[in-house]
Amino acid sequence: MQNTRLPVVKPLLRRITLLYGLIGFAVSLLVLMVAPILTGEIISSTSLVILQAVCIGVIFAIVCTWLFRDQQSTDAEASLTKRGEIVDQADIDPLTHVLNQRGLTIKLLELMALGERYGNTLAVAVIGIDHLKEVEEQYSQSVTDNALVVIADELGDTLRMPDRLGRWGDDQFIALLPETPIEGARHIGERLREAVSRAQFPGKRGVALTLTASIGVTMFRLGDDLQSLLARANRAMNLARTQGADRVRTDLAA
């Protein structure tokens, strides 16, 4: 399934400006020190050379970071075009580049309206990432950010073309599964659970870490509103967690 996710290195964007700055500083410092020697000119004072290198490094970092962000936007737009969709960037989660809560709400209400009017089948899967907060406490925010991006990538690759994936909360994703009966939705839920389990991300000293997911699945019923539909899916997800996590549970009333 194509979506607007970008490569896994994107969570490191916070560090990219510093990296570009260091590269610009090192190169400019080398040039400012070596060029006078090659041309036979007098070398400026060390402090002046360092100051000039710092200025060049800052300018280089700003320009390169701007170009990098611009390329991100271009990649995302190209991905959306490939899917034949026009999606407002305000509907995209800036970290994982799947739909955000606003985008999910809009798409879910659209699918619910089709179900209400034409009887279209719709399943919803709430995917709660187990123990994500503990990982953040033990490691860092950047580690959990990287984990979410890798997990979103695996989840998106597991879903079918008509399905939609979005991030609903800090540790929660939602998959919208149109034209899917409850048994089919449970099967997809198991595939999503396996996808989370195989998503690897680096912890301390590059050691690969993995997480699990508790998934609750329910079906849209005539008369449902957004709150009632998601409440049933969340109850099923919470049931999966209380029963030991890393499992899929369906809403018994679905």
Region 59-74: what's the mean pLDDT?
A: 59
Contact 6, 76 (CB under 8 A): yes
Distance CA 144, CA 85 (A): 29
- Mean pLDDT rounded to a whole number for the chain: 82
Burial of 103 per CB tally in 10 Å (0-12, 13-18, 19+): buried
pLDDT of residue 13: 46
For residue 84, pLDDT beyond 60: no
Q: What is the pLDDT of residues 183-240, one digit of tens each?
A: 999 999 999 999 999 999 998 887 899 999 999 999 999 999 999 999 999 999 999 9
Report CA-CA distances (Å) from 229 to 11, 111, 186: 32, 12, 16
For residue 68, pLDDT beyond 60: no
| pLDDT over 90 percentage in the chain | 61
pLDDT of residue 19: 65
pLDDT of residue 148: 97
Confidence (pTM):
0.69
* Least confident window among 47-56, 153-162, 206-215: 47-56
Region 7-20: what's the mean pLDDT?
A: 49
Instruction: Kindly indicate whether the domain formed by 90-250 is annotated with CATH number 3.30.70.270.
Output: yes
In the numeric block, the tokens 């998934």 are attached to: 215
Every domain of the chain and the residues it spans: 10-82, 90-250
pLDDT of residue 33: 64
Task: State the pLDDT confidence band at 132, using cuts at 50, 70 and 90.
Answer: very high
Distance CA 254, CA 251 (A): 5
Task: State the pLDDT confidence band at 35, using cuts at 50, 70 and 90.
Answer: low
Beta carbons within 10 angstroms of residue 193's beta carbon:
21
For residue 123, pLDDT beyond 90: yes
Region 2-6: what's the mean pLDDT?
A: 40
For residue 11, pLDDT beyond 80: no
pLDDT of residue 40: 57
pLDDT of residue 7: 37
